[in-house]
Structure 1
Amino acid sequence: MDTLGVAFNEPKRSQEKEKKEKEKNGMDEIDGLGQLTDYRRLCSDLTLQTKKEGFFKDYLSAIVEQVSDEEFEGFTKQQTDRDRVVYCWTLPALHKTMKSFQPSYRGKSADESIKRREQGNEAFREKDYRKALYETQDNEGIVLLEGSLLERTTLALALANRSAVLVHLKEFALAIRDIQLSLQSNYPEKQRYKLYDRMGYCHQQLGETAKARLAYTIALDCLEESDLEPAALDNWRQTVEKSRAKLPSNNPSNNSNNNNSNHSTANANTNALPELVSGANSNIPNASKSLAMEVDDNSGRYYVAADDIKPGQTLVCEKPYAACLLPGKFTSHCHHCFVRLIAPLGCLTCRGVFYCSVECRDEAASTYHQYECGIIDYMIASGSSILSWIALRILTKGKMEDFLEAREELEKDGDGGRLLASARNPDSYSGIYHLATLSHLRSDKDFFDRTFMALFLFQCLRASGYLQTRFRYEEDSLNITEDEIYFASLLLRHLQLLQFNAHEIHEFVQLNEKNMRSTKTVYIGVGIYPTVAFFNHSCRPDVARYFLGTTMVITSTRCVKRGQMVAENYGPIFTHKHLTDRQQSLQGRYWFNCQCLACQNDWPIYDGMTDMETILTCCPLCRGTVQSVNDSYARCLKCKKQSLWEAIRRPVEEITTLYQTAMRLMDLGQVDKAIRVLGVYIEMMETLVADVPVRELLLAQEALRLCLGTYGTKYCATTHLTMKAVTNNTRK
């Protein structure tokens, strides 16, 4: 099954011609792995384009139809990414099908903003504050910030209205932010006393006495510039003065930012990053000293425990080199830090993306979004996969000059020592460039498809203005410079390495605030993490991961002895999937046969596991199997000695109580205590049962993963004020 293949129905074809056509349509052989299966082709295709309709799929099909057997055979002889890019660029089929384009921006409407603001005002008067927030945040996302005086005033009024709604929802920090933006956006001077009075109230609620006093004082000054009638003016002055008089005396303790935990800050992603156990590793940035890297021919580069590791210890805390939010989350999450939106701020130019704060918006606008803003619609319409987006983002987040400067070093033939050195510097682009691509295992058809996706992304890069080249538009689109060939080659390399090294980014969703078991992780984006990329896979992982925005935190969930490999999980876990299903998934997605202990011994899923009581009911002297002699004694079948049943059952009862206590603490929401008790339980059980799958032990490790997940970006469905931004006139 090859959705991108072309069926050739010529009669009496030679065997050689049939072979070439199979290669062209993805049916070729892969060295050492046998025939490329339908499942692997499907997995590979999905790393380029989504299942949904998109014009790239049509582009590629049209190109395949036009490429002759001789042209495809010529492609198969190209040995480097640069050669593949140059060869495909010269094919007439490319330029007949994949035209160049110019940036496109969806405009914003002040009239639509006014309409939304009126609907928000009506909801506010009816005290439906959630609906009012929905309407007011909609029109803020629609209006241009940089435009005519009317447009700026419309934005200022929208922000002011939303600040009033946020006050009623007790989102005081966000209300202050909207007030400040409104004042910067031409809010009418004669009405500014309202905003400063509201600002004073918000600072007062946040315990920021000095700021509250200053805001109230400015409000009184602004009253002198208002057009209020004398009676109304006097009433307002008395109200503000009373509010200021209620403030406590000026002392340092009252001026701190002791924000209530229920009140959002202007940037919602404020969780502190955890400390690495044993301190930071000088050789592996973002990792703990408890990790060391090793290299061998079979496993490549991987981590081992430099010291004994216990459950619940933080091993890695890493920001992504590049990350992309799923397009389906553009209206509900911050485009930059991925937190859920409450009072979103729109891009200053397009209406396709939203941010949680001015800081996120400005940082994105100063780097990648200034180039991606005009091509987002093309990327979405193309059906490109999220990995294709990241392939582009790796470039747009950096400077063109830096990539050009690094070209000579990157293109040198490397050795193991250089590759290991790049692993120690994952914050540099070299750490990305030298991640595994498995190019020696790729089929010609896979290279063919990826090369044309790289050329599509290159056209996007051209249109964005990133390359600063004059060969951008239709009249001279056939020209390509040596620098452009280099960037297209980088895109092709990214499309290969991301297939095996990218990580899903998720948020922790709690469906019921009081029930830890009603939780799940929701996939919201993808990132490339050079340090984390060197963890090898095991179907019985040693670690779990959670996210603080886009920052990944890797925490141990098992005991790992010094010198043992520390493995994470790439998807299939033995407790949920049988061996054949896991192997098929890993071979199709990551191109390897897993040899972990769970696979070697074909461990059962939960339903087939031995329970804790059965496996712990054993001889206290040698841990052999016991057989009942009478109600008081049991005989060991291994050492032949008798023991009291009480001596056998007492340890079982004690550790069972420990397990039950941990689970009860988790159910009560006492996460810190639950993590400590779960860690003790896991340590004891792994000492007793070693490498034997025990149902309660695996459930405890899963419970530890859930508890640790609450330390990350969390969304409680019953209490969170998250709102979806609207990017068109249709309500969703």
Structure 2
Amino acid sequence: MFDKDYFLRCSEKTLQTNDKGFFLQFADHVAEVAGSNWIKNVFGKLQTDRERIRIIYQYKPVKEIVCETLSHVQEIYRKKNAEISQKRRKEVEKLITKGTDLKTLVLACQSVLRAPPTGETHTIDDGFTLSLSYWTRATVLIDLKKYSLALLDIQAALKEGLSEELKSEAYFKMGICYKGKGELAKSNISFNLAEKLLEGNFHKLKKIEEYKLRNFKEVLEIDRRVCPSVTDGPHTEFPKASKKIHVKCQKDQGRFVVANENIKTGDTLVVEEPITACLLPDCFATHCHHCFDRLVSPVGCFDCASIAFCKAECRDAALKSYHKYECHFSDLLIGSGMSILCHSALRMVTQWSLKETLSKYKDSRTFCTHSHLRPAEDFLQRTLMAAFLLRCLQKSNYFLDGEANEDVIPNEEEFQVGELLLYYLQMLQFNAHEIYETKCEAEHRFKTAKSGYIGIAIYPTAALFNHDCYPAVTRHFVGKKIIITAVRPLNTGELIGENYGPIFTRKPLLSRQRTLSARYWFKCKCEACQNDWPSYDNGLKDINRRLRCPNNSCTNMFTANPTKEKVTCPKCKKVVNLVDYLAQINDVEAQYQTAFAAVDSQEPEKAIRILCEAIDNYHKVSRPPHYETQVAQEILRACLADFGNVYNYVAKK
């Protein structure tokens, strides 16, 4: 079915993405000692994950290496550093005198995130580094007119402890912030508290009176994200999906989604929160570790300095679940070189208590794993990754309350979690979705728009959709929620296919088939593959427009260059007015141009409305492939994504 060497390389990349990581060296060493004969004829003959996770601790040559290597697993993470925090703060204080900008804010954020808890390092700032970092960042935020965020920092600084002199200044600045937010009653209370603390200091009291008379208005970030509801109400069995879908199951295709009734372009078919999500390490400095929103004025973990959260609520939610187990191992996990899919497998355990995880161990496992196709070599690598992740859990006190497990060989409960990890490492390869964000220049959102990959998530309903090189739907994201929308009409019973990466307009047939067979282990038999539709670069624009027989049960197509006004269909014998049909296609193409003009003037709502109607109209009179319609569908995807995760940046001149 596929090139085995290429297949193994692709599969290996779903385990380790960083070539400098140590995990594959460990796995290769185990494979070398075990020998190909044992891997093929002993390990390769095992039928269950239960047997696989246990045998690496039983077969002596493998056991020795596994236990020796895993005994060295230890906490490795970036710690707080008062000296670095103080250094960044002093840099900010110098920059403020010259004017505040976003670079100043970045340094102020670094100062906050690197600051240790109050009282931990008495030799620097008398132990008040964190409070002073919040205080300094609040000053920057006030200068940038981000009063709501500044207020949170002032309150945090007061909570951590401020001198009496700074307390009066804090209430004064709170007065400014509340006034900027339009909360005048709270502003007056704050100013009055400052005046009481400054009684007798006529110079500062005069300053407060001046500021009471000034106008302040907050500069708010515009959040254009819209989270729609599913069209026509929720499905009874799959409540995150529209009742317009139906889930079928066939031996050769597994579970897949078809239209339960006619679907129109623009129908929202799925709106779903993930059951697990992991942020890409490259985004740790730019996005919230918990909700994936862009960071502006982040707060950190109380212990590590590796990650950041957009607000205290996200930090607290993470600390109550997964982060308390991952915190001290963050740099070790990254240093292993393991993929974000492996981190997701770990997260599927750490986000739950041990009791909840053991309960999930007993549940049926419905996600596709293709375990019958997985070679022994690949299974061994995944089993060793499961053992490594399991060892991290042992050392993080996941199993023992308040005490790390020093015994490398798992007990029965730990073996069950290891078995579950091995299952997750298989199923994530085929069921995870990449979460995207659209990055664009503020000057024109659409001309500069580019999708950027920020994380991985598991969506049980979205995972039901099979692949199609001519997808019927598009997906975009609002935070971590996935939104699946139809980009072409479908009749009842038709497959609702999404796209796993290779799309016919961008990649030729052989390239698509090679990618899909190596990465997802199937041969695509969609219409675009069966008929080898041309790509943009290989003749799509040159395909003649075709007209469909108006008899819905007939599959005949006519050339769009009629020599007669009316002809008789050779298949169903129906008389067809081709000139009327051709006029309708011309009208559709004119609608596309009107929609493109709306995009050019940055009116996505208008463009979506026109495109949905035009694409529906096209499919009434013609059939793909059609260059103009493919472009229209891509523009529709971009317009829908504009109401999801978007990062507008100002381009450097």
- State the TM-score, normalizing by the size of structure 1: 0.81
Whole-Å Cα distance in 2 between the matches of residues 347 and 584 of structure 1? 43
Which residue is 2:14 aligned to? 47
Structure 1 residue identity aligned to 2:175: G
3-state secondary structure, aligned to 1:537: coil
Match of 2:639 among 707, 710, 722: 707
Contact 2:112 2:134 in 1 (8 A): yes
Residues of 1 paired with 2:587 and 2:162: CA distance?
68
Report whether the alignment pairs 1:94 with 2:51: no
How far has the Cα of 1:284 moved from its partner?
0.2
* Residue 93 (structure 1) shift: 2.4
Once the two structures are TM-superposed, the CA of residue 609 in structure 1 deviates from its matched residue by: 4.8
2:605 is matched with 672
Change (3 A) 1:240 1:52: same
Q: Secondary structure of the equivalent of 2:197?
A: coil
Answer yes or no: is the 8 Å Cα contact 1:507–1:522 preserved in 2: yes
Q: For each residue in 1:194-235, what CA deviation from the matched residue of structure 2 results, as whole angstroms up to 9, or x when unmatched?
A: 33333333333333x3xx322332332233224x86331331
- Residue 17 of structure 1 is matched in structure 2 by none
Query: Relative to structure 1, is the Cα distance of residues 565 and 625 closer, same or farther in structure 2, using a 3 angstrom cutoff?
Result: closer
CA distance 1:114–1:680, change in 2 (3 Å): same
Instruction: Say whether the 8 Å CA contact 2:100–2:140 is kept in structure 1.
Output: no
Pair 1:47–1:620, CA change in 2 (3 A): closer
Amino acid at match of 2:132: L
Q: Does 1:444 align with 2:376?
A: yes
Deviations 1:416-447 (A, max 9, x none): xxxxxxxxxxxxxx5xx320111111111111
Corresponding residue of 2:329: 375
- Paired residues of 2:77 and 2:332 also in contact (CA < 8 A): no
Contact residue 175 and residue 190 of structure 2 kept, 8 A: no
Q: Does 1:201 align with 2:134?
A: no
Amino acid at match of 1:233: K
Q: Hey, what's the Cα distance between the residues in 1 that align with 2:428 and 2:635?
A: 30
CA contact (8 A) 2:569 2:576 kept: no
Write the deviation string for residues 490-539 of structure 1: whole angstroms up to 9, x where unpaired: 11111100110011111011135325132111011111111111001100
Structure 2 distance, partners of 1:331, 1:67, is: 41
Shift of 1:469: 7.1
Instruction: Give the corresponding residue for 2:515.
Output: 585
Alignment of 1:420-439 (within 5 A): 433-439=365-371
Q: Distance in 2 between matches of 1:225 and 1:302?
A: 68
Quickly say closer, same or farther: Cα 1:87–1:306, change in 2 above 3 A. same
The 8 Å contact of residues 441 and 651 in structure 2, kept in 1 or not, is answered as no
Task: Output the CA distance in 2 between the equivalents of 1:614 and 1:293.
Answer: 36
1:57 Cα deviation after fit: 1.7
How far 1:236 sits from its partner (Å)? 3.2
Contact 1:311–1:558 under 8 Å retained in 2: yes
- In the alignment, does 2:213 pair up with 1:242? yes
How far has the Cα of 1:613 moved from its partner?
A: 10
Tell me: CA distance 1:277–1:719, structure 2 relative to 1, closer, same or farther (3 Å). Answer: farther
Tell me, yes or no, if structure 1 residue 658 matches structure 2 residue 591: yes
Deviation at 1:84, TM superposition (A): 0.9
| Closer/same/farther in 2, CA of residues 625 and 403 from structure 1, 3 Å limit | closer
- Distance apart, 1:130 and its partner CA: 1.9
- 1:631-663 deviations in Å (ceiling 9; x for gaps): xx8786979999999868754543332111011
Residue 163 of structure 1 deviates from its aligned partner by 1.7
Task: Give 1:173 deviation, angstroms.
Answer: 2.2
What is the match of residue 401 of structure 1? Answer: 355
Q: Does the 8 Å contact 1:200/1:215 carry over to 2?
A: yes
Q: Which amino acid aligns with 1:52?
A: D
Which residue in the other structure is 1:220 paired with?
Answer: 192
Deviates more, 1:661-670 or 1:507-516: 507-516
Give 1:684's aligned residue: 617
Contact 2:299 2:308 in 1 (8 A): yes
Alpha-carbon separation, structure 2, partners of 1:292 and 1:151: 64
Instruction: Report the equivalent of 1:230.
Output: 201
Amino acid at match of 1:106: R
CA deviations on 1:546-587 (whole Å, 9 max, x unpaired) are 111211111111101122121111110001111111110100
Hey, what does 2:270 align to over in structure 1? 316
Deviation of residue 334 (structure 1)? 1.0
Does the CA-based 8 Å contact 1:515-1:668 persist in structure 2?
Answer: no
Residues 682 and 336 (structure 1), Cα distance of their counterparts in 2 relative to 1, 3 Å cut: same
Matched residue type, 1:662: A
CA distance in 1, matches of 2:321, 2:267: 34
CA deviation map 1:83-132 (0-9, x unaligned): 11111012222123332433234322222222211110111110142222
Aligned partner of 1:499 in structure 2 is 429
Displacement of 1:618 after TM fit?
Answer: 10
Contact 1:100 1:472 in 2 (8 A): no
2:81 maps to which residue?
109
Q: SS where residue 374 of structure 1 aligns?
A: helix
Query: In 2, are the aligned partners of 1:174 and 1:264 still within 8 Å (CA)?
Result: no
Distance (whole Å) between structure 2 residues aligned to residue 51 and residue 102 of structure 1: 20
Letter in 1 for 2:398: Y
CA separation of 1:264 and 1:187: change in aligned 2, threshold 3 A: farther
Does structure 2 retain, via aligned residues, the 8 Å contact 1:636–1:642?
Answer: yes
Partner of residue 97 from structure 2, selected from 102, 106, 125: 125
Are the counterparts in 1 of residues 562 and 579 from structure 2 also a CA contact under 8 Å? no
The amino acid that maps onto 2:9 is L
CA distance change for structure 1 residues 147 and 438 in 2, over 3 Å: closer, same or farther? farther
In the TM superposition, residue 190 of structure 1 has moved relative to its aligned partner by 2.6
SS for the counterpart of 1:348 is: coil
Contact 1:123 1:131 in 2 (8 A): no
1:619-640 residue CA offsets vs partner (Å, 9 max, x unmatched): 99998447687xxx87869799
Shift of 1:541: 0.6
- Contact 2:354 2:399 (C-alpha < 8 Å) held by counterparts: yes
| Alignment gaps of 5+ in structure 2 | none
2:543 and 2:466 map into 1 onto residues whose CA distance is 33
Q: Which residue of 1 aligns with 2:247?
A: 293
Supply the RMSD in Å over aligned alpha carbons: 3.0
Change (3 A) 1:646 1:390: closer
2:303 corresponds to which of 340, 346, 349: 349
**How many Å apart are 1:602 and its aligned residue?**
0.8
Report if aligned partners of 1:200, 1:213 keep a CA contact under 8 Å in 2.
no
Question: Is residue 567–residue 578 contact of structure 2 (8 Å, CA) maintained in 1?
Answer: no
Q: Which segments of 5 or more consecutive residues in structure 1 lack a partner in the other structure? A: 1-32, 248-258, 411-429, 721-732
Deviation for aligned residue 1:711: 0.7
Give the Cα–Cα distance (whole angstroms) in 2 for the partners of residues 140 and 381 of structure 1: 25
Deviation digits for residues 328-353 of structure 1 (CA, Å, limit 9, x no counterpart): 11111111111221222121100110
Q: Distance in 2 between matches of 1:445 and 1:656?
A: 53
- How much does 1:359 deviate? 1.0
TM-score by length of 2: 0.91
Structure 2: distance between partners of 1:473 and 1:608: 60
Q: Secondary structure at the match of 1:466?
A: coil
Pairwise CA distance, 1:240: 4.9
Which residue does the alignment assign to 1:263?
220
> In the aligned structure 2, how far is the partner of 1:313 from the partner of 1:198?
49
For 2:46 and 2:626, locate their aligned partners in 1 and report how far apart those are by CA, in whole Å: 52
Q: Does 1:62 align with 2:32?
A: no
Deviations 1:443-489 (A, max 9, x none): 11111111111101111111111111799455x33x42100110111
What is the rounded CA distance, in whole Å, between the counterparts of 1:494 and 1:670 in structure 2? 43
The match for 2:417 is: 487
Task: Provide closer, same or farther for how the CA distance between residues 48 and 548 of structure 1 changes in structure 2, counting only shifts above 3 A.
Answer: same
1:126-145 matched pairs, under 5 angstroms: 126-145=98-117
Q: Which residue of 2 aligns with 1:335?
A: 289
C-alpha change, 1:563 and 1:623, in structure 2 (3 Å) is closer
Match of 1:466 in 2: 398
CA separation in 2, counterparts of 1:121 and 1:624?
Answer: 74
Q: Is the 8 A contact 1:192 1:219 kept in 2?
A: no
Q: Which residue of 2 aligns with 1:9?
A: none
The alpha-carbon deviation at position 611 of structure 1 amounts to 5.1
Q: Which amino acid aligns with 1:79?
A: Q
Q: Choose which of 76, 82, 97 in structure 1 pairs with 2:44.
A: 76
CA contact (8 A) 2:118 2:130 kept: no
